[in-house]
Amino acid sequence: MAFQAPMRLPLGLVRARLTTAAARPFFAVPTTTTPLCGRRQYSSEPAPPPLLQKMRTDLKTAMRAKEVARLAVLRSVLSATLNASKTGTPISTDAQLVALLRKTARASRDAVEEFRTAGREDLVEKEQAQIDILEQYTADSGVQEVTADELRTIVAGMVTAMTSEGARPPTAKHRWAMS
């Protein structure tokens, strides 16, 4: 018996034959994207704060509009939130994000004073533009800062409510939402 070389087919013809239904084995499992047994997969992480989502969309619009100052500020804040997410205290609320914005603005104010003493007015203008952008996001966040007087009145109201109700003290969250 003589040796016969296997028949060589063009690659396109081989692909066409392999994709036809007749070429598939009868035990092939169809690939679907539905989960097995009706199970759904949910993310265990909570949704990011609304202000953070707004900053991410503003980053994209700043890229398109080529706003250099806003782009630099948003990149630095988003980088700080990413770094915070890798620590034990990730940023999960708008209040935490506003605290980060205030901290960044405070550092920029310190830098402005240093630049003024050094006589670098160009850097002063750049930092001042960054401070303005940070303050804009802080003001638009919807997070209110409670002054010391407001805090005293809230605590005094809680104390009087607790003493008047007796053994069942109300929760602070409930009282805060009512006022």
- Tens-of-pLDDT digits for all 179 residues of the chain? 566 666 665 655 555 555 555 555 555 555 555 555 556 656 666 778 888 899 999 999 999 999 999 999 999 999 999 998 888 888 888 889 999 999 999 999 999 999 999 999 999 999 999 999 999 999 888 887 788 898 899 888 888 888 887 655 556 565 555 55
Does the residue 39 lie in any domain?
no
Please indicate, yes or no, whether residues 113 and 152 belong to a single structural domain of this protein. Answer: no
Does the residue 20 lie in any domain?
no
Q: What's the confidence (pLDDT) of residue 13?
A: 55
Please indicate, yes or no, whether residues 64 and 115 belong to a single structural domain of this protein. Answer: yes
Please indicate, yes or no, whether residues 116 and 164 belong to a single structural domain of this protein. Answer: no
Please indicate, yes or no, whether residues 85 and 135 belong to a single structural domain of this protein. Answer: yes
Stated pTM of the model = 0.60
Please indicate, yes or no, whether residues 127 and 168 belong to a single structural domain of this protein. Answer: no
Please indicate, yes or no, whether residues 94 and 153 belong to a single structural domain of this protein. Answer: no
Residue range(s) defining the domain that contains residue 97:
57-140
Please indicate, yes or no, whether residues 121 and 168 belong to a single structural domain of this protein. Answer: no
Q: What's the confidence (pLDDT) of residue 32?
A: 53
Please indicate, yes or no, whether residues 130 and 153 belong to a single structural domain of this protein. Answer: no
Cα gap 151→75, rounded to integer Å? 34
Cα gap 131→102, rounded to integer Å? 9
Cα gap 55→136, rounded to integer Å? 12
CATH of the domain at 83: 1.10.1510.10
Please indicate, yes or no, whether residues 66 and 112 belong to a single structural domain of this protein. Answer: yes
Rg (CA), the chain: 31
Q: Specify the 3-state DSSP secondary structure of 144.
A: coil
**How many domains are contained in the chain?**
2
What the block records as the tokens of 83 is: 């770094």
Q: What's the confidence (pLDDT) of residue 36?
A: 54
